[in-house]
Structure 1
Amino acid sequence: MNGYQVTFFTQQDRRHHGKPLADWLVHLAGELGLRGATVIPACEGIGHHHRIHSAHFFELADQPLSVVMAMTSEEADRLFDRLRADGVHLFYVKTPVEFGVIGDDNGNGNGNAAKS
């Protein structure tokens, strides 16, 4: 299946509607029926204001996070429409990709690739 990989970049202390923004994005993906979302923590990053963000031993509030999702073009349109409607301010990268599932639900990798 063809579509997009969308990666959002945020940090641990960013919030939306009182909830951590990364968590809110994951729940939004579920609400919109997307195939999934993965939150990836990073050790360090530099933001659009050229300030270093990093996870420290005692304080993780500034820790950079990526939220990665794969979706069809129609799903991407629905997601971005919702983000605009909710007034979310967030940096993202949207890349054309082919995606699917290989193997069956029992973990068997034999057979043809079953694209979703």
Structure 2
Amino acid sequence: MTACSALRFYIHENRKLHGALFYDWLLEEARRNGVHGGSAFRAIAGYGRHGVVYEPHFFELAGQSTVVVEFLLADAEADAMLARLRAEKVSVFFCRYPVELGVTRQDA
């Protein structure tokens, strides 16, 4: 097993950075910097610190659903990604926690 970090960002679906959707920018930036994989997941419902419930079937909330972008990466890569966001002066909520990675069958 390998020790590393899970780094998860919570973003509104329609948020942009440098003209690109922010979740796309994050995935591309990670790929450019050698991170081996990342995923974006759209929430089906939820609420944040302001207590507003977001559900995509509410027409007036279109584009405001939360997208979670998650990476499993080496600690140094997580540090570099957070530093890159700070350099961009981006404010984004994230969580980071230690994880162990492994494969159940080495011969597969």
Higher relative contact order (CA 8 A, sep 6+): 2
1:1-116 alignment runs, 5 A limit = 1-56=2-57, 60-100=62-102, 102=103, 109=105, 111=107
Tell me which amino acid in the other structure corresponds to 2:26: L
Specify which structure has the higher proportion of helix: 2
1:54 maps to amino acid: E
Structure 1 residues not aligned, in runs of 5+ = 104-108
The one-letter code matched in structure 2 to 1:87 is K
Q: 2: distance between equivalents of 1:20 and 1:42?
A: 16
TM-score normalised over the length of structure 1: 0.81
Q: CA RMSD in A?
A: 2.0
CA distance in structure 2 between the partners assigned to 1:20 and 1:28 by the alignment:
12
Deviation at 1:64, TM superposition (A): 1.3
Structure 2 distance, partners of 1:54, 1:33, is 34
CA distance in 1, matches of 2:31, 2:42: 20
SS of the aligned residue for 1:23 comes to: helix
Partner SS, residue 10 of structure 2: strand
Instruction: Note the residue ranges of structure 2 that are not aligned, 5 or more in a row.
Output: none
Compare CA radii of gyration and give the structure with the larger one.
1
In 2, Cα distance between equivalents of 1:93 and 1:56: 27
CA deviation string 1:64-96 (max 9, x = no partner): 110010011111111111010011111111010
State TM-score, norm by structure 2: 0.86
* 1:54, distance to aligned residue in structure 2 (A): 2.3
Percentage of identical aligned residues: 29
Q: Aligned residue pairs: how many?
A: 106
